[in-house]
Structure 1
Amino acid sequence: MEQTLGRVLVVVPTYNERENLPLIAERLRKALPEAHLLIADDNSPDGTPEIADELAAADDHIHVLHRQEKQGLGAAYIDAFRWGMSEGFDVLVEMDADGSHQPEELTKLLDALAEGADLVIGSRWVPGGKVVNWPGHREFLSRGANVYVRLMLGLPVRDATAGFRAYRAAALEKIGLSDVESQGYCFQVDLTLRTARHGLRVVEVPITFVERTHGTSKMSGKVMYEAFWRVGIWGVTGLPGRLRRRH
């Protein structure tokens, strides 16, 4: 049975995305006019904050969260989620600013939420999912990372590292955000694992991931290393905080 979703907030973290931000904001507002957009900027030095402010001044469905420094993807999303829940939004969506996540596919994620999911992941690696213009080494790393996650954590999820996803606010409240320390793409695995271990429903829907055409990827060796060692630790000891297994 489909459920009413309520108010939807799409969170787009930015750091040096001045070329991409106006384009993705326009596409989102056209694809889902009733949704609100929150730009969470990490004090970009390239003029992105000023562009975000201009967009917000022209559209009452666009908001800006100015963060004082670059602290990682996880910290940006947590601040944005807290803002969204304090403002009464019922659904919180993660979406990249670089165009790799297509706003036109967002309705597929929201439809799955309406059918009873608590977390919906836009997946590259389920049947029907695909990537466009991605270098072979990036696909190898992503597929390999997700195999590692499944083996270490026992998660029946094909794309736990995916950053295009939609949460019910009630699910985020239930899993808690206060002790989340992971950053980078490990943050996505962290919240997926917390959601599953709380007995909440995780669903994947296929998407087409398109490699960015402007700007620079934020992927780095540090990001990959964090994901590798944190997932390894969780596989042995469980999640940090209140979900840690007691021995």
Structure 2
Amino acid sequence: MAPSSLGVAIVVPCYNEAARLRIAALSELARVAGCDVVAVDDGSTDATAALLAEAAAADARVHVVQRPRNRGKGEAVRQGLLWSLAAGYDVVGFCDADFATPATEVARLIDACHQGHVVALGSRVGLLGHQIERSLPRHYTGRVFGTLSSVVLGFQVYDTQCGAKVFRGGPALQAALDDPFASRWAFDVELLGRLAHQHRGTADFLEVPLQQWHDVAGSKLSLAASLRATADLARIRRALARHRRVTPAA
């Protein structure tokens, strides 16, 4: 399988998404963001596999990675990114299957990496003129989580949990993806910590305030999941310490 002409692949992790995933949304992401789409079916038990097969048959830019068992979003994203790097893509990333982050915003993150940044993070900042539609409980839970995550990482990040991130490929990203993550839900924090170690800092990281983002009904990231992710931060801190000890920087 040959990469797209732009060498960009965006991973979309999917688990039991048959009721809400639109085939057209996958093709729209490919068209608007100028990328290939790698949909990872994380051991779904509904009709997700059939839906993704239909999407891939309808659009050559959509590819499907089938996982036999459900291992959580973090592992689905990791496997999708590894698959994309092995296929030869130069820029890779991921976004959530609910497409709360529009394709136009994913395109902005891709542009940031084309301009030289090694990591581009979508950030849900409520600025004048921006349309960030997020419930108050999620906003305040996110602010607490973001503050604690910054303490664990040792550098300031406003929004670690926005479901859209893009990376430049290379040895640093490959090394950051070699081992499974310690957390199913807060894997973003661990991935950022690994990348900061591999790149010897965050000078080429960019947090991009999104112009549009909206809560989507049926999201799997419940308040309970957010609390579990917060509890995972101590485990992530230990995992990052181990990564720094045993994995040389790129």
Size of the alignment, in residue pairs? Answer: 235
User: Does residue 1:151 correspond to 2:151, yes or no?
Assistant: yes
User: Does residue 1:89 correspond to 2:89, yes or no?
Assistant: yes
| TM superposition shift of 1:67 | 0.7
Normalized against structure 2, the TM-score is what?
0.84
For residues 120 and 208 of structure 2, what CA distance do their matches in structure 1 show? 7
- Please state whether the residue corresponding to 1:56 is helix, strand or coil: helix
The 1:240/1:23 distance shift into structure 2, 3 A limit, reads: farther
Aligned ranges for residues 126-165 of structure 1 at < 5 Å?
131-132=132-133, 134-165=134-165
Question: Partner letter of residue 220 of structure 2?
Answer: S
- Structure 2 partner of 1:212: 216
- Structure 2 partner of 1:60: 60
| Contact map agreement 1:13 1:39 (CA 8 A) in 2 | yes
- Please state whether the residue corresponding to 1:239 is helix, strand or coil: helix
For residues 68 and 240 of structure 1, what CA distance do their matches in structure 2 show? 31
- Please state whether the residue corresponding to 2:26 is helix, strand or coil: helix
Question: Partner letter of residue 224 of structure 1?
Answer: L
For residues 204 and 126 of structure 1, what CA distance do their matches in structure 2 show? 14
For residues 16 and 100 of structure 2, what CA distance do their matches in structure 1 show? 16
| TM superposition shift of 1:181 | 2.4
Aligned ranges for residues 105-116 of structure 1 at < 5 Å?
105-116=105-116
The 1:190/1:111 distance shift into structure 2, 3 A limit, reads: same
For residues 59 and 239 of structure 1, what CA distance do their matches in structure 2 show? 39
Post-superposition Cα deviations, 1:34-91, rounded to whole Å, max 9, x if no partner, equal 4111110112222111010011012111111111111111111111111111111111
| TM superposition shift of 1:216 | 4.1
Question: Partner letter of residue 178 of structure 1?
Answer: D
Unaligned runs of 5+ in 1: none
| TM superposition shift of 1:221 | 2.9
- Structure 2 partner of 1:31: 32
Post-superposition Cα deviations, 1:113-143, rounded to whole Å, max 9, x if no partner, equal 12211110011137576531x3211111111
For residues 234 and 117 of structure 2, what CA distance do their matches in structure 1 show? 27
| TM superposition shift of 1:158 | 1.0
